[in-house]
Amino acid sequence: MEPTQEEIDRVFAALADATRRDVLARVIDREQSVSSLARPYAMSLPAVQKHDAVLERAGLVGRTRVGREQHVHAVPERIRVAGALLDRLELRWRLRVDAMDRLLAEEAVPNGPVQQEKE
């Protein structure tokens, strides 16, 4: 199913922040508790929880309760959606560059295709 424009906006807004990209990279490697995610950062646990909430609203991560802790895990399907969107944008760009290359190549030949002289 194709994501809505609002979902796409949430994904890229979530990925716009370096801390959230780092959190996502860490939970791609392995599921972690919110408290263990917070340890490396010079910010409070509630601040890290806010970053996690943005990632979760974007669908990039999910949470599960393990005992008394909340564990955060990556959602590969949504990450693939983001990758596919970027791939489509790259393809459009490459097609435009190819079209420009063809136009420039046509302009480089002053009188059309070069014809060989007959002997």
Would you list the domain boundaries of the chain? 1-109
From the number of C-beta atoms within 10 Å of its C-beta (0-12, 13-18, 19+), residue 32 rates as middle
When pLDDT is averaged across residues 51-75 and rounded to a whole number, the result is 95
pTM for the whole structure: 0.76
Asked whether residue 116 carries a pLDDT value surpassing 60, the answer given is no
CB 52 within 8 Å of CB 23: yes
Q: Scan for tokens 């393809």, then name that residue.
A: 91
1-109 belongs to CATH 3.30.70.1230: no
Give the pLDDT band of residue 10 (cuts 50, 70, 90). very high
**For residue 104, what pLDDT is reported?**
87
From the number of C-beta atoms within 10 Å of its C-beta (0-12, 13-18, 19+), residue 49 rates as middle
**For residue 73, what pLDDT is reported?**
97
Q: Scan for tokens 């097609």, then name that residue.
A: 95
When pLDDT is averaged across residues 30-39 and rounded to a whole number, the result is 94
Least-confidence region, from 23-32, 46-55, 85-94, 102-111: 102-111
Q: Scan for tokens 């490459």, then name that residue.
A: 94
Give me 104's structure tokens: 């420039």
CB 74 within 8 Å of CB 59: no
CB 35 within 8 Å of CB 69: yes
CB 72 within 8 Å of CB 31: yes
Least-confidence region, from 10-19, 51-60, 88-97: 88-97
